[in-house]
Amino acid sequence: MPEHLRVEFRFRYQAAKELGLRDMTTVNSTLLEKIFKTHLDKLISDAPLNEAIIPNLTLREKELLAYWQDGSLDIWKQQLSAATYYRYKKSLKDKGIDVSKPYSYYLRKQ
């Protein structure tokens, strides 16, 4: 299994586990996407980020943040074109989150 699918599966599995679902194979893809989005929101809200900007993030920006926090940003970059990645990276930087440094650096700065 490609690395980016393993990471995404881990995020999805964690989300399903938190909601008490036992078997992800019986969950339809629409529900799974909703669970995944909920988990992204929880993952980001648990982080010491600027709370005011979180509701204004797009799903892709939240996804980028989740991979950044997990230390898997390189995997997320591989799934996108360079232009798309840099567009989201710049968008987050404009909102006050610089993902060019590791997440651990951001935590130490807080």
Provide the pLDDT for residue 101.
Answer: 78
DSSP summary character for residue 37: H
Percent of the chain with pLDDT over 90: 0
**Does position 21 have pLDDT exceeding 80, yes or no?**
no
- pTM of this prediction? 0.55
Taking only the tens place, the pLDDT of each residue in 55-79 is 677 777 877 877 787 777 777 777 7
Euclidean distance between CA atoms 99 and 77, whole angstroms? 12
**57: burial class by Cβ within 10 Å (0-12, 13-18, 19+)?**
buried
Tell me which H or E stretch contains 11.
Answer: helix 3-18
